[in-house]
Structure 1
Amino acid sequence: MSDTPYADLDPDRILHAVESLGLRADGRVLALNSYENRVYRIGIEEGLPLVAKFYRPGRWTDAAIGEEHAFALELQAADLPVVAPLAHGGTSLHGFEGHRFALYPMRGGHAPELGEREVLTHLGRTLGRMHAIGEGAAFANRGVIGIESHGEEPVHFLLEEGWLPPALESNFERLAEALLDAMEAAEDRAGDVRRLRIHGDCHPGNILWREGAGLFVDFDDTLTGPAVQDLWMLAGRREDMARPLRWLLEGYEQFRRFDRRELHLIEVQRTLRLLHYNAWIARRWHDPAFPAAFPWFQEPRHWETVITQMQEQLAALQEPPPDPD
């Protein structure tokens, strides 16, 4: 796989790809904020603009992308507020000159105000409905969020590829080993909680708030995991989570019971996100978009901050979970 998979994805090729589906573009192409994939707003003659998402080569199989699309379309068919791909010629995944892409309707909005009870109960209701549908079937080709895939593998990659400054490497390795043990202990305390199809990357930037409602976008990281993975990023800072969680669950449990044992997994999920995020940037460093977007990543100060965050997470994993009741 090329280190620069989008080098040939110029405006002409983007427009030709869209027009290969029988659409007539008006020549306007605007790059939208995305690093893992490439996403563009495309002007359409005699129609509303569309969003074209070009998938990173080699990341997902066609079958895995198909499951992403099918899940979003299943949610949309159940009247959930999600942005699902558009079908052309009987399919939502298309190919053009070596690139795979999908088209979506263009939607506007802003990030939700997470400090407001009405907003959080609304988002909780939506997630409760989403998870009630998510547990009705299983993914066969998507990933599973877990300590091995999002913890052990990122740690090994960062160490083996020499991303840590030499002066910090042993400290990072020691903390990582302690974190992996602490996460396993937290999972033992939680017990055998249910894993289901979830959004997977449910941060405020993936929710468009408009006209008093939240619209969920970007199911690119949909996978199998615990329900709490879609809740904790909406609940704010660790020390202030109890009340926001209560409001989220107030809406959530109108449609699906939340297993309180999953509260033991909040800091597990937060730790996995920290480790996975840094390894993700490192794995993509040969893509020119990443050094431009994250110029601080190779600086020792960044890794000092990461180690501080790891120390904080090690302490948090020893503490009781928040009590939203």
Structure 2
Amino acid sequence: MPHLPHPFAALTPDFVLDALASAGLEGDGRLMALNSYENRVYLAHLEPGTPLADAHPAVVLKFYRPNRWSAAQIEEEHAFALELAAAEVPVVAPLAIAGRTLHAHGDFLFSISPRRGGRAPELGDDEALEWIGRFLARLHAVGARAPFAHRPAVDVAGYGTEPRDWLLAHGALPLEVEREWAEASQEAIDSIADSALLAPTPGTFDPEIRPVATLRLHADCHLGNILWTPTDRPGGGPHFVDLDDCRGGPAVQDLWMLLAGERAESQRQLGALLDGYEQVRPFDRRELALIEPLRTLRLIHYSAWLARRWDDPAFPAAFAGFGTPDYWRGQIQMLREQTEAMQAPPLVA
């Protein structure tokens, strides 16, 4: 059977410039592809004297991966970004053009945003971590105002059970490791599901144990998704340029991926983050017990994400070792280690 080109192959320079023109903006022909695996993102320079060019000489077009999010889910992401921007939380929100932030061209939905860069923050700098803690608390203060209506949640079903079942149903693992991974992943999920703190609704488990509150989150808050600009410039400090993975979930989901290193180092980083966070809003310390369960769920979710994207040529090129027996043996080992870690006392701060 001939290999069909991936839908993103349609995003030629002419197509991207035509999409920009369909939104009422005129590019000067200069385009640069920006780093993104999930979507396709381009920097486009606008023709001087055309709409928006004075305020934004260059803009960023993001073409959403087909069939991942519905229009309603993307619009909810945009509404959250605009709500955050209105509250002066430093995020880059999409531009509203002719009253819309979401546009369509051909088979693609796309958005247009201002250009803003930055670098990754330094985890060894406690002052920077404290600042990031305040930043996330401000984001969460807005996120706690109302739940998402259309976006999914970070939970056991969506991050554990469903991706595990998909991997096994689609034969994504080599037969020589499939059974062992299935057992290790199920044991890990069973350990996580015992946590009353992750109950989807009050009363699912012991009624005396109240599940932690959930709110609108960034949900994929790792160092690669936080950009830092020099603090001696207006608007300097941490900011997000993308809320593509925003979901509902516990506040700690936006903290734990910023922790790295041995336990003592992670504990120091967590302390600095919470020092900043609690200057702005309270943090439920029970959520610290969710760090290892959430880390475990991400292992399963991430493997399924890679497997589901393997028909996109960008993925085999960037993740050459994925899918081999050695990859899955490494995952089995990590899942077993995580199952043990979930039995250990949580980090404290």
TM bin, normalised by shorter chain, reads over 0.9
Q: Which residue is equivalent to 2:303? A: 278
Aligned 1:79-228 pairs, distance under 5 A: 79-188=88-197, 191-212=210-231, 213-228=237-252
Q: Which residue is equivalent to 2:205? A: none
Cα offset, 1:23, TM superposition: 1.4
Q: What letter is aligned with 1:291?
A: P
Where does the alignment leave 5 or more consecutive residues of structure 1 unmatched?
Answer: none
CA RMSD of aligned residues (A): 1.5
Question: What whole-Å deviation, never above 9, does each CA across 1:140-191 have from its counterpart, x for those lacking one?
Answer: 1001110111001111111121122222112111111110111122445985
Q: Is the 8 A contact 2:296 2:338 kept in 1?
A: yes
Residue 188 to residue 132, structure 1, CA distance change in 2 (3 Å): closer
Q: Which residue is equivalent to 1:35? A: 37
User: How far, CA to CA, are the matches of 1:233 and 1:166 in structure 2?
Assistant: 32
Equivalent pairs counted in the alignment come to 323
User: How far, CA to CA, are the matches of 1:187 and 1:57 in structure 2?
Assistant: 36
Cα offset, 1:34, TM superposition: 0.9
Q: Is 1:78 aligned to 2:78, yes or no?
A: no
Matching residue within 226, 231, 252 for 2:255 = 231
Q: Is the 8 A contact 1:187 1:264 kept in 2?
A: no
Cα offset, 1:103, TM superposition: 0.6
Q: Is the 8 A contact 1:186 1:317 kept in 2?
A: no
Question: What whole-Å deviation, never above 9, does each CA across 1:254-280 have from its counterpart, x for those lacking one?
Answer: 111000110111011111111101101
Q: Is the 8 A contact 2:153 2:247 kept in 1?
A: yes
Q: Is the 8 A contact 1:139 1:223 kept in 2?
A: yes
Q: Is 1:260 aligned to 2:294, yes or no?
A: no
Residue 198 to residue 176, structure 1, CA distance change in 2 (3 Å): same
Q: Is 1:241 aligned to 2:266, yes or no?
A: yes
Q: What letter is aligned with 1:221?
A: D
User: How far, CA to CA, are the matches of 1:3 and 1:277 in structure 2?
Assistant: 24
Cα offset, 1:237, TM superposition: 3.3
Helix, strand or coil at the partner of 2:159: helix
TM-score normalised to structure 1 length: 0.96
Q: Which residue is equivalent to 1:302? A: 327
Cα offset, 1:302, TM superposition: 1.1
Q: What letter is aligned with 1:235?
A: L
User: How far, CA to CA, are the matches of 2:190 and 2:134 in structure 1?
Assistant: 34
Where does the alignment leave 5 or more consecutive residues of structure 2 unmatched?
Answer: 199-208, 232-236
Helix, strand or coil at the partner of 1:241: helix
User: How far, CA to CA, are the matches of 2:327 and 2:107 in structure 1?
Assistant: 36
Q: What letter is aligned with 1:93?
A: L
User: How far, CA to CA, are the matches of 1:233 and 1:191 in structure 2?
Assistant: 25
Moved more, 193-202 or 45-54: 45-54
TM-score normalised to structure 2 length: 0.89
Q: Which residue is equivalent to 1:314? A: 339
Q: What letter is aligned with 2:140?
A: H
Aligned 1:41-80 pairs, distance under 5 A: 41-46=43-48, 47=53, 48-80=57-89
User: How far, CA to CA, are the matches of 2:222 and 2:241 in structure 1?
Assistant: 10
User: How far, CA to CA, are the matches of 2:71 and 2:138 in structure 1?
Assistant: 27
Q: Is the 8 A contact 2:176 2:325 kept in 1?
A: no
User: How far, CA to CA, are the matches of 1:188 and 1:25 in structure 2?
Assistant: 50
Helix, strand or coil at the partner of 2:82: helix
User: How far, CA to CA, are the matches of 1:187 and 1:28 in structure 2?
Assistant: 53
Q: What letter is aligned with 2:123?
A: L
Residue 108 to residue 131, structure 1, CA distance change in 2 (3 Å): same
Q: Which residue is equivalent to 2:16? A: 14
Q: What letter is aligned with 1:318?
A: Q
Q: What letter is aligned with 1:194?
A: A
Helix, strand or coil at the partner of 2:8: coil
Q: Is the 8 A contact 1:108 1:208 kept in 2?
A: yes
User: How far, CA to CA, are the matches of 1:238 and 1:61 in structure 2?
Assistant: 40
User: How far, CA to CA, are the matches of 1:94 and 1:166 in structure 2?
Assistant: 44
User: How far, CA to CA, are the matches of 2:176 and 2:324 in structure 1?
Assistant: 13
Q: Is the 8 A contact 1:186 1:264 kept in 2?
A: no
